[in-house]
Structure 1
């Protein structure tokens, strides 16, 4: 009977090769056990990456939309807060003007004008609010604050009202200057002529907020408060009776303007709701895509654990064989 055998050197090389193979299998199985994912994705998918790549693309898009909705949420939240501040100032000065308008006294007139001046500062500051480094009410020119200071506004308006002696003429002149493209829009407004582009919040949905500091409701409120702030200006020299009439009319007009500012806040609120809904849908889609991707390349934990135990036993057995071979000698064989 023929006997086939291999030499010691070849046997050692064979054992080392087998040991390397088993260690590689242990590393692979240990990785799959700890991550829950197969290491050889190509072999697991049979070389067909189409579905996996589609899922990866969807996840990348959803990550981008997640950032977009976060930025949109920041923008609209800041706009809502600024409009709340603006509207609050309008309500405060409206109530004060209606109260002071009934008193034909210089002291109360001074108080009304001082309050109007302070509220005008607050209103302009609210419209100059920035979020994430972008101006809210400057249209496409988000790097520029939309309005110049209250001092600049009052100085420009004072020149338009100089010499007028009736409440009707004063209010009409103020309205004409604020509506004139060469007036308020050119002198005080520094933002862009175009409104902000719609914000993409999902693959098929965009949110638009076409509100700038030149919105008629905002300009109307700024106009009436500015006139009230100038009512006691010494250069204009308006009589107490004229001031009383102005304060009463301006107070009523500002109270009516409240409805328009509420509508603006409602418009922003609707945009906030759409952004939240889109963010919720995007998060759900992201979770679904991640689950599908995980299922596609996941390793069965029970099967992996069983294979790892088997391979570890094979390595231990190989070490035992290696030790036995190392102890073989002719002396031991002849005993």
Structure 2
């Protein structure tokens, strides 16, 4: 009979390797228990790893789109609220002028003028609204304040342009006019329709009133869908609101013939009505974008749910089995540590 001797050092080294392997397995199992996924996809899935990575990329892209869509939704909502305030301002000013009904009563005229001034202030405040630190009515020039405040020093250029237009028109008449009191009904209609209106619908608007861009922002809301996600203050509705406001503020309370005042009131009411219609048209356009974003989010949610389920089936683990494995590994580790401790206590000195 032959006896083979095994040193205690060899046994200790074997136990040490067992402990290291158990500790490594515990880390991997702990990850699988908490995440529900394989610790090492390459080892666990083999050739299917590429599919899992593709799903991760798609899910990340969809999360990015949903995050972008939330910003778009916030901007569209803020724009709708501001446009609603603008439409209300136009309606309020129009009603105040309609109530005037051609009256020459100074008090009624002054009250109507104050209503127009207040409406312009409210309109300007709404036009300069921001969302997430960006001006929502500046088109792509989101860092530029879209509309000047006519009642402050910002309005100096617009006031000068109006005064120059008035002076030029009065000087061009035969005989030249010296004040608004000299205007006939026909001349008042001519001045408003052929001098002031072309100014506000033309280059004077951008020169003296607006720093906004005509180009609106667009946003990708899905893989193959892009929507207009903003509007701008250069639209016809805003221009006609400003035109009506200047006519009401600068001319309504001036001394003039009743026929000329009637023309002035009628034109101003008409411009406010057109402004409200234009603003509501902008609201409708943004409403379409809101519905498209909502539909895109619904589709994205469905795709995310489907891909998440597929990914879970592909690289998910049974957390219950992982828990059982964890218990087994801990028992194995404790046994190895106990044996190692006992082996370290073996010594010939204890037997001498």
**Distance in 1 between residues matched to 2:138 and 2:350, nearest whole Å:** 96
Match of 2:231 in 1: 211
Equivalent position SS for 2:282: helix
Map of 2:281 onto structure 1 = 263
- Displacement of 1:233 in angstroms is 5.5
Question: 1:323 & 1:197 partners in 2: Cα distance?
Answer: 71
Q: Give 1:98 deviation, angstroms.
A: 0.5
- Within the candidate set 301, 306, 312, 2:330 is matched to 312
C-alpha distance in 2, partners of 1:144/1:23? Answer: 60
Residues in 2 aligned to 1:37 and 1:49: alpha-carbon distance in whole angstroms? 12
Q: Normalized against structure 2, the TM-score is what?
A: 0.83
306-315 or 110-119: which moved more?
Answer: 306-315
Question: In the TM superposition, what is the alpha-carbon distance from 1:14 to its structure 2 partner?
Answer: 1.8
Q: Choose from 187, 198, 204 the match for 2:208.
A: 187
The offset of 1:206, in angstroms, is 0.7
Alpha-carbon shift at residue 300 of structure 1 (Å): 1.3
Does structure 1 residue 159 correspond to structure 2 residue 180?
A: no
Of 200, 207, 227, the residue aligned with 2:220 is: 200
| Deviations 1:70-104 (CA, angstroms, capped at 9, x unpaired) | 22112211211111111000000111100013422
Q: Deviations over 1:204-263 (max 9, x none)?
A: 1111157322211221222112211112455xx434553244224422442354333222
2:292 corresponds to: 274
Write out aligned runs for 1:295-310 (5 A).
295-310=313-328
- Using a 3 Å threshold, how does the CA distance of structure 1 residues 115 and 274 change in structure 2: closer, same or farther? same
Using the TM superposition, name which of 212-221 and 285-294 deviates more.
Answer: 285-294
Tell me the C-alpha RMSD between the 2 structures.
2.8
Q: Provide the residue aligned with 1:2 in structure 2.
A: 2
Query: Match of 2:95?
Result: 95
Distance in 2 separating the partners of 1:219 and 1:248: 18
Residue 211 of structure 2 corresponds to residue 224 of structure 1: no
Give the conservation status (yes or no) of the 8 Å contact 2:239–2:275: no
Note if contact 2:230-2:286 (Cα within 8 Å) is conserved in structure 1: no
Distance 2:83 2:325 in 1: 64
- How far apart, in 1, do the equivalents of 2:207 and 2:138 lie? 13
Q: Is the 8 A contact 1:139 1:191 kept in 2?
A: yes
Gaps of 5+ in 2: 171-179
SS in 2 for 1:199: strand
Counterparts of 1:160 and 1:327 in 2: how far apart (Å)? 108
TM-score for both structures, normalised by structure 1? 0.87
Q: What is the DSSP-based 3-state SS (H/G/I as helix, E as strand, rest coil) of the residue aligned with 1:49?
A: helix
Paired residue total: 330
Q: 66-75 or 79-88: which moved more? A: 66-75
Question: CA 1:233/1:293 → structure 2, altered by over 3 Å: closer, same or farther?
Answer: same
**Contact 1:158–1:230 (Cα < 8 Å) also in 2:** no
Determine if the alignment matches structure 1 residue 247 to structure 2 residue 265: yes
Q: Is the 8 A contact 2:72 2:229 kept in 1?
A: no
Alpha-carbon shift at residue 3 of structure 1 (Å): 2.6
How far is 1:273 from its partner? 1.4
Q: Which runs of 5+ in 1 are unaligned?
A: none
The 1:115–1:304 alpha-carbon spacing in structure 2 relative to 1, beyond 3 Å, is: same
2:33–2:322 Cα contact (<8 Å) kept: yes
Question: Matches of 1:19 and 1:143 in 2, distance apart?
Answer: 62
